[in-house]
Copies of this chain bind each other. A is one copy, B any other.
């Protein structure tokens, strides 16, 4: 691996330079050009020689050191591409409306679509429940025994699995959310809070419905 150098100190110094080069290329978000690398490795480093050595080391492996334009970067080996890319779906961000709807189903289940809309104060767009159902997070529950016998929605076991919960009981309650700072409490308008005295526990019950 190391050629034509016999002095042990020099060998050690060269190995350290190689290791640093490897780490820099690994951690960088963009390809790095030789000038930048030289700046990081110090004036006594022979950057082209080090790059060649690293390239040779990685050539047979699952990851290769490749040159793109003026820069160098690690890339997974081209021949492995078919094995790496099994599904081409790109992960997407769930819309805010969908996250909120999912949260409301989780906290209020079983809940009908009309109830979700009453709680959120806006109509639920057509695709929202579909998306949540396609992902296996929600499923239809029993019909409510009221006029029209509307369908209710509940969360699935996959929902618990995805969010790392053991049971629905482990979902933080409204007070827990408030205490954790996820739900800012209403502005304190009382003139004199008693110093460090915790604010009285605000009532949970809310005025929806």
Contacts and interface: CB of A to CB of B under 8 A. Distances in A.
Interface of A: 18-24, 26-27, 40, 61-63, 74, 76-77, 80, 83-84, 86, 107-108, 111, 113, 115, 118-119, 122-124, 126-131, 133, 139-143, 149, 151, 164-167, 169-176, 178-182, 184-185, 196, 198-209
Nearest to A193: B196
A77 B208 contact: no
B24 A84 contact: yes
Given A129-B180, A130-B181, A140-B165, 16 more contacts: A20-B80, A40-B83, A107-B204, A108-B205, A108-B209, A113-B179, A118-B209, A126-B185, A128-B181, A140-B170, A140-B171, A141-B170, A151-B172, A151-B173, A169-B204, A205-B206
B127 A181 contact: yes
B26 A126 contact: no
Nearest to A182: B130
Given A108-B209, A140-B176, A23 B118 contact: no
A165 B156 CA distance: 12
Nearest to A79: B19
Contacts of A118: 208-209
Interface centre among A21, A22, A86, A133 (most CB of B within 10 A): A22
A23 B75 CA distance: 8
A153 to B, nearest CB: 9
A62 B122 CA distance: 53
A76 B131 CA distance: 35
